[in-house]
Amino acid sequence: MYNISTFFWEDQYVCEINRSRYSAYLLHVHVVFMTKYRRPVFGELHHANMRQYVAEVCADFGAELKECDGEADHVHMLIEYPPLVQLTKLVNSLKSVTSRRLRNDFIDLRAAYSKPVLWSRSYFIGSCGGAPLEVVKKYIQNQRG
């Protein structure tokens, strides 16, 4: 259903553009989850398993995990996604699946909280990639005939 085109700017490779029947897109989002109460509960093994779980959830949404890592009390994810994905649904699924699977796989995480929680209710999400906003603004302004 999707194919990929390579995009060049002034003879330099820039990125791969995804294409569907009626659209061309390249959408990336940076997502950050914090542990409940910012407790430092993650080690390298937790992060390794989390990468696997996040990649699986992303695949279910037709998205792709590009990068995932973090520290003891938070995780950063870079995700490429198609335009039909509702980011709030993706985030909710990521939080619930990773929380459930990590707590099931690691007894130490179950012991860290009295209730079946792992993540803080809040999160960060930001679009990223492409040209800086000022470059895009100037490009649009220069489109006047």
In a domain, 139, yes or no: no
**Structural domain boundaries, residue 81:** 27-129
In a domain, 3, yes or no: no
**Pairwise CA distance, residues 121 & 40, whole Å:** 16
At 21, is the pLDDT very low, low, confident or very high (cuts 50, 70, 90)? confident
Q: Which two tokens stand for residue 54?
A: 């996040």
In a domain, 136, yes or no: no
Over residues 111-143, the pLDDT tens digits come to 999 999 999 999 999 999 877 888 888 878 888
The CATH number for 40's domain is 3.30.70.1290
In a domain, 10, yes or no: no
Residues recorded for the chain = 145
**Pairwise CA distance, residues 16 & 83, whole Å:** 15
Side chain identity, residue 83? P
In a domain, 59, yes or no: yes
Residues whose CB is less than 8 angstroms from the CB of residue 93 and which lie 6 or more positions away in sequence, other chains included? 57, 60, 61
